[in-house]
Amino acid sequence: MDQIQKAARYLKNDELVKRGTIMFVSGTIVGILNYSYQVYMGRALGPEEYGVFGALFAIFYMIGIISQTLGTSTTQFVSKYVGEGKQIGFFIKGTLKLTILSGSAVSIIFLVFRTDLMNLLKLPDVQPILILILILSLSWIIPIIDGSLRGMKIFSGLAFSSISNASFKLIFGVGLVIAGFGVSGALFGVAMGAILGLFISFAFLKPHIRPNNPHEPDLPYSSFYSYSLPVMFAMISLSIPSNLDVILAKYFFSPSEAGIYTSVSVLGKIVFFFSGAVGTVMFPMITEKFTKGEDTKGILKKSLACAGALSGGLVSIFVLYPRIVVEIFGHKYFDAIGLVAPYGMAMFFVSITAIVMSYHLAIRNMRYIAFFTGFTIIEVVLLVIFNSSMSGMIDVLLIANLVFLVLSIVYTFKK
The domain ranges of the chain are 13-414
pLDDT at 215 over 70: no
Whole-Å CA distances, 88 to 143, 147, 252, 385: 16, 12, 48, 47
Mean pLDDT comparison of 152-156, 284-288, 364-368, highest-scoring range:
364-368
Which alpha helices (H) appear in 85-154, and where do they start and end? 89-112, 114-120, 127-138, 142-151
Average the pLDDT over each of 168-172, 196-200, 205-209, 342-346 and give the range with the smallest value: 205-209
Confidence band for 19, pLDDT divided at 50, 70 and 90: low
Residue scoring higher pLDDT (373 or 233): 373
How many Cβ atoms sit within 10 Å of the Cβ of residue 29? 15
Sign of torsion, CA 291 295 296 299? negative
d(CA 51, CA 268): 16
**Averaged pLDDT, 39-68:** 76
Which residues fall within 8 angstroms of residue 167, CB to CB, at 6 or more apart?
33, 193
Closest of 359, 265, 383, 314 to residue 72, by C-alpha: 359
- Under 8 Å between Cβ of 23 and 277: yes
- Of 392, 394, 400, the closest CA to residue 353 belongs to 400
Q: How many Cα atoms occupy the beta-carbon half-sphere of 251 within 13 Å?
A: 15
Question: Is residue 177 within 8 Å of 44, Cβ to Cβ?
Answer: yes
DSSP letter, residue 387: -
Categorize the per-residue pLDDT at 402 as very low, low, confident or very high, splitting at 50, 70 and 90: very high
Confirm if 24 and 30 have CB atoms less than 8 A apart.
Answer: no
**pLDDT tens string 164-199:** 888 999 999 899 989 888 888 888 888 898 899 888
**C-alpha 236, offset from chain centre:** 11
Contacts of residue 363, defined as CB under 8 A and 6 or more positions apart, other chains included, come to 286, 290, 296
Q: What is the C-alpha separation between 267 and 38, in angstroms, rounded? A: 9
33 or 27: which leads in pLDDT = 33
Query: Which pLDDT score is estimated for 171?
Result: 92
Residue count of the chain: 415
Query: What rounded mean pLDDT belongs to the chain?
Result: 79
Write the pLDDT tens digit of every residue in 381-391: 888 887 778 88
Q: Which of 30-34, 82-86, 276-280, 340-344: highest mean pLDDT?
A: 340-344
| Widest CA span in the chain | 68
Which backbone phi and psi does 409 adopt, to 5 degrees?
-65, -45
Contact 318, 264 (CB under 8 A): no
Tell me if the pTM is above 0.95. no
Answer positive or negative: Cα dihedral of 343, 349, 355, 358: negative
Return the H-helix or E-strand segment holding 155. helix 155-178
Q: Residue 84 above 80 pLDDT?
A: no
Print burial letters for 112-150: b (CB count within 10 Å at least 16), e (below 16).
Answer: eebeebbeebebeeebbbebbbbbbbbbbbbbbbbbbbb
Which pLDDT score is estimated for 371? 85
Cα–Cα distance measured from residue 137 to residue 142, given in angstroms and rounded to the nearest whole number: 10
Sort 291 into a burial class: Cβ within 10 Å, 0-12 / 13-18 / 19+.
middle
**Buried (b) or exposed (e) across 186-219, using 16+ Cβ within 10 A?**
bbbbbbbbbbbbbebbbebbeebbebeeeeeeee
pLDDT per residue as tens digits for the range 155-165: 778 888 888 88
Number of H helices, E strands in the chain: 17, 0
- Cβ(83)–Cβ(287) below 8 Å: yes
Rounded Cα distance, 237 and 34, in Å: 23
